[in-house]
Homo-oligomer: A and B are copies of this chain.
């Protein structure tokens, strides 16, 4: 089969790789229908994180089950499935407590910017979706990561009906956070963005206001917008010390920062501002598997269209171009079809 391998900065190649096969009775092998490039894939692409040895890429996909192991009970050959971006058993106490992204059996599958993928805990990680029409594919694909992650940011930040939400970051996750806040019926949703295309999608997703300024200046404007003291719920979807600081500064005393930006490097947070104003920090690696069923209902009914974050679709053969487009911010998020 063909699959994507990163060799180093700006060196992503589609290669002939061995087909995956069932290794345990709990496995499934899935034929990829669609995958995509994640903002976090760019850390390696940009050389911010070194690529020490060639690495298979991709962790978000939907597909059709080709084969299942002898012990797999729920998932069957021919099923259309959504994979979470991590592998989990979805039966342990940690999964059941709502945090499957810290599953006791947590694992990762080989890169899914490919034609075939082996999923180690098929019954745990895969969500079966019946009667999938092709136009639903982009929306369903977001449940593998970005829509679940956006929801996690909003949920962690304590967004409530009639409440507020400020979103730091206008990438696919930030925009999904806007949609999630709208879905949770926030009445005021501010997105911090200086990109007209992203601003437009943010508005379509439910943003009521846009702030173009960043850092201290941006936070000061947000403070002013919310009684001079900032918002109750702030979603952080970037993952740097700077964006986290901007989020904290935008939060009112007793408010919450829901952070889901993947920390790039070892960002540090100064405790003093959190301490002085009792600003809570919640969130982290999103347990998207726990949210999938709930969000799926709203996708199937057409209530939400999170797949609009995919503004570019390319064949898998053009995966290098997909990375370049993301890197140069020519696309919000690129969908790949084998």
> Which chain A residues have a beta carbon within 8 Å of chain B's beta carbons?
93-94, 97-99, 101-102, 104, 156, 227, 229, 244, 252-254, 259, 262-263, 266-272, 274-285, 287
Contact = CB atoms under 8 A, between A and B. Distances in A.
A278 B283 contact: yes
Contacts of A287: 278
Number of copies: 2
A259 B282 contact: no
A40 to B, nearest CB: 12
B244 A276 contact: no
Contacts of A263: 271-272, 275
A101 B285 contact: no
23 contacts: A93-B227, A94-B229, A98-B254, A99-B253, A99-B278, A102-B277, A156-B280, A244-B271, A259-B271, A259-B275, A267-B271, A267-B272, A268-B269, A268-B271, A269-B269, A275-B283, A275-B284, A276-B284, A276-B285, A278-B287, A280-B281, A281-B281, A281-B282
Contacts of A282: 278, 280-282
Contacts of A156: 278, 280
A274 B93 CA distance: 19
Given A156-B278, A266-B270, 16 more contacts: A99-B254, A102-B253, A102-B254, A259-B275, A262-B275, A268-B269, A274-B281, A274-B284, A275-B283, A275-B284, A276-B284, A277-B284, A278-B283, A278-B287, A280-B280, A280-B281
Contacts of A254: 94, 97-99, 102
Contacts of A283: 275, 278
B262 A266 contact: no
A299 B207 CA distance: 49
Contacts of A97: 253-254
Contact of A94 (B94, B253, B271): B253
A272 to B, nearest CB: 5
A284 to B, nearest CB: 4
